[in-house]
Amino acid sequence: MIKNKIQNKLMRLITRFKFSRNLAISLLKKNPVIYRTENSFFSLDVNNFVDEINQNGFSTTFKIPKKSLNELIRYCNHTEFVGQNHKQKVKIDYKNPTLPDHQEDLWYLDTSIYKNCKEAYNLSHNKDLVNIAASYLGREPKLQSIHAWWSFPPKDKSYVHNYGFHYDIDSYKFVKFFIYLTDVDDESGPHVIIAKTHKRKTWFQKLNRRLSDKQAQEKFKKEDINVMLGKAGEGFFEDTFSYHKGTTPHKPRLIFQVEYSI
């Protein structure tokens, strides 16, 4: 356990610097080839998506089949989600996503969707989606994490620090795709991404994983701050080494995420 903590701290330090990150990647063992579905049930232009992620840190949206969306929703409607901090287990009605008054968390996660929902398994092994990840990462990816979660509004509607801009350090290199399982408008806590911040960071940014909204507005052009609205079933790729956030929601949001890493 102590060794793992030291390794994680070292990785989080190395990853902030391009040279040391690339050196570490070159020394890592190659991952075995990940299983891919033989026939993709939707067709994506792999090269175009990879070019977009390379350039901006995220892609344009894609849409999963209605059948896949319905299966993910059906699963989420019948499973128990776990509160992120207090670990309460709750079932959440998809059509009326409210929480009992005694529930204290704003985020409720399910991390067993990969093994318990066939459609989640199929999506994470979809040949186009895996090929996009492999091409972007520059080597065969591994599945780093797969989960779904509900985000709920703060009871007093106030700003929550954890919804602010930040970047992730989950591995030496990684990429995620997100799929909205509810319609997401400006009131639903849409995902926000600052374009091109996955490529290079100032010393200030290397030392500060979090930015306030005011700092983000001062440091970046308005057109580089992208709000990802979408209907249920729409998704996008992102290298979350980019600065990003989920805005504080005023109504519940359900999202599905798959992360690939080297």
Global pTM reads 0.93
- Determine phi and psi for 63, rounding to 5 degrees: -130, 130
- Range of 208's domain? 31-261
Q: Quick check: is 175 in a domain? A: yes
Report pLDDT for 197: 96
Q: Quick check: is 44 in a domain? A: yes
Q: Quick check: is 233 in a domain? A: yes
Q: Quick check: is 250 in a domain? A: yes
Report pLDDT for 211: 92
Q: Quick check: is 24 in a domain? A: no
Q: Quick check: is 101 in a domain? A: yes
CA neighbor of 62 nearest in space, from 233, 254, 194, 258: 233
Residue listed under structure tokens 């805005």: 247
Q: Mention every residue, 6+ apart, whose C-beta is less than 8 A from residue 243.
A: 165, 166, 167, 193, 194, 197, 205, 211, 216
Structure tokens at 91: 């079932």
Transcribe the chain into DSSP letters.
Answer: -HHHHHHHHHHHHHTTSHHHHHHHHHHSPPPPPPP--SS-SS---HHHHHHHHHHHSB---EE--HHHHHHHHHHHHHSEEEETTT--EEE--SSS----TT---SEEEES-HHHH-HHHHHHHT-HHHHHHHHHHHTS--EEEEEEEEEE---TT----GGGSEE---SSSSEEEEEEESS-B-TTS--EEEETTTTT---HHHHH-SEE-HHHHHHHS-GGGEEEE-B-TTEEEEE-TTS-EEEPPPSS-EEEEEEEEE-
- Determine phi and psi for 113, rounding to 5 degrees: -65, -30
Report pLDDT for 10: 85
Task: Specify the CATH number for the domain of residue 103.
Answer: 2.60.120.620
- Determine phi and psi for 127, rounding to 5 degrees: -65, -35
Report pLDDT for 83: 93
Residues of the chain with pLDDT under 50: none
Please give the tally of structural domains in the chain.
Answer: 1
Q: Quick check: is 15 in a domain? A: no
Structure tokens at 164: 């602010």
Q: Quick check: is 16 in a domain? A: no
CA 220 to centroid of chain Cα atoms = 22
Report pLDDT for 4: 77
Report pLDDT for 158: 62
